[in-house]
Amino acid sequence: MASEKNPAGSHLQTMELRIERQREMIARQEQAGEDTAEAVSRLKLLQRALDEMRIQLGQLSPTDRDKMRSSPPPSLLARASSR
């Protein structure tokens, strides 16, 4: 499973599940005529935390430029294979 190999991805999935559960709780509270202000506030905090996690993880992910630096240029590969 991908989450076993990627703890960060697993954590993001956990946060997404928490957000979904929070939305469900808000819907139940609305149906029951209860105040949802605190639950909505918590939902916003969870969403901001997830957004921040994605930003932080994105900064740690290799970019296309990083991948290009780690690979030799195609012209060098062509010369090496023609020898």
> pLDDT tens across 15-61, in order?
999 999 999 999 999 999 999 999 999 999 999 999 999 888 887 66
Who wins on pLDDT, 70 or 20? Answer: 20
Q: What is the CA radius of gyration of the chain?
A: 22
Structure-token pair, residue 38: 């605190």
Structure-token pair, residue 53: 């996690």
Q: How confident is the model at residue 8 (pLDDT cuts 50, 70, 90)?
A: confident
